Structures are given as C-alpha cells and as structure tokens.
Amino acid sequence: KAGVTQTPRYLIKTRGQQVTLSCSPISGHRSVSWYQQTPGQGLQFLFEYFSETQRNKGNFPGRFSGRQFSNSRSEMNVSTLELGDSALYLCASSLVGTGSGNTIYFGEGSWLTVV
Amino acid sequence: AQRVTQPEKLLSVFKGAPVELKCNYSYSGSPELFWYVQYSRQRLQLLLRHISRESIKGFTADLNKGETSFHLKKPFAQEEDSAMYYCALMNNAGNMLTFGGGTRLMVKP
C-alpha cells in the first residue's frame, strides 16, 4: 500500500507570493492533517480535515488555509509568503482520525524556501 | 493545553551502551503517547505507542502517569539507531499530535 505522498517535494517562492501544496493520503484514510516543521519551532500542527470538513486548527495566521476533496486528497495554501514560512510541511493521514488507538502516518514533506 | 518536553536536544552514546531518551508531558485528559523516529533523509515514522506496550527494534517505553513521563529506552544501542526521536501526545479527539522538540541520538562506534 502506498504511503502518504506529497507534491511538490521542493519549491522556492518569493516573498509575497502564494503557494499550494498537495497531499494524497494512504488509500482508505479519511483524515488528513498538516504540520509545519522548522528548526526553531519544531513540529507544529496546522489543521486537520475529515470528510472535507476542517475539524481542528492550530495557532497559525489566516494566511494558512487548507481543504480536502471528496477523494480525501488535501491541499494547503499559504498566501502572502513571508521569509519565516520557509519550512518543511508535512502531511499526515489516518484511518478515521478520531478516538483512541488512531495511528497517524506521515509523508516525506514538501520543502518550501521563501526568498 | 497539552505540552510535551524533551529536555535533551542531543544524546551521544557508544555502541552497546544503554539509551534513555526522556519525555515529559502535561495534559489534563487521559494521555495517549507516541514515539516517532526520523532517520536521515527519511519520513517521520511511528516507532511505538504506549497503548500497545510493545518493543520495536529493541526500544520500549513505559507511561508513568505519576511522573507524567514516557521515556524511551534501549538496553544496547546500535549505530543504526542514530536518528531524531520525537515524543508526541495525541489530543482527546484523536486527530492532533503535539510534539516535543526532539532529541538527536548519535550512536558512536
């Protein structure tokens, strides 16, 4: 079974631009979540989607948004990019996304550099 | 609010030595804790979870609610254990992980 796949793997953007990152969860998984990983702040939760609905959101500005499609694929968007948005963005998926015993699996991430 | 603390950023040991990576948590609910490992140039992957009470690659971790700790242990470290290790706490809804800052384990030959 294929793991969580993310595209693109690497990208460079200019300040002020926007970026869209894509994620395909493990087949059958309906919950998709996103995390930001930076050397300074570590791994931080961005948001989680289940059945196309955002169920949980981390403490990030409104420039960070996401969505989930009916096939469980997800995208996240960052508008008006700032230098501090340079990070590894991780997508994760789980089967049902709720309750005890839920296991979350991670993709390899999308490396975003803002110049 | 939930919080996870890994006090050591770097832990360096010799091959064959015992290893203990510390993790402390703060959570008002019933905690569900995990250890994730990230080998060089690889994705973050689940190492073990406390509810399974299993041993993976020789690693074990016991949840101590009294000390709010979930330390990761291995009696004899191997060079291939060198990696970043993250302790994580799941929220009650089961859809969000809070990570500690991570500990880089270096096992020297």
Q: Determine the pLDDT at residue A98.
A: 62
Q: What is the mean pLDDT of chain A?
A: 93
Task: Say yes or no to pLDDT of B72 above 90.
Answer: yes
Q: Is A39 on the interface with B (CB under 8 A)?
A: no
Cross-chain residue pair B95–A42, CB shorter than 8 Å: no
Q: What value does the mean pLDDT take over residues B46-70?
A: 88
Q: Determine the pLDDT at residue A101.
A: 65
Task: Say yes or no to pLDDT of A10 above 80.
Answer: yes
CA dihedral of B51, B55, B60, B65, whole degrees rounded to 10: 10
Q: Compare all CA atoms of chain B with the CA of A109 and give the residue at the minimum distance.
A: B43
Q: Is A99 on the interface with B (CB under 8 A)?
A: yes
The values of phi and psi at residue A35, to 5°, are: -135, 150
Q: Which two tokens stand for residue A74?
A: 């997800």
Q: What value does the mean pLDDT take over residues B28-47?
A: 91
CB atoms within 10 A of CB B62: 11
CA dihedral of A74, A79, A81, A84, whole degrees rounded to 10: -60
Q: Which two tokens stand for residue A44?
A: 């931080």
Closest alpha carbon to B4 in B22, B18, B29: B22
Residues B81 and B19: beta-carbon distance below 8 Å:
yes
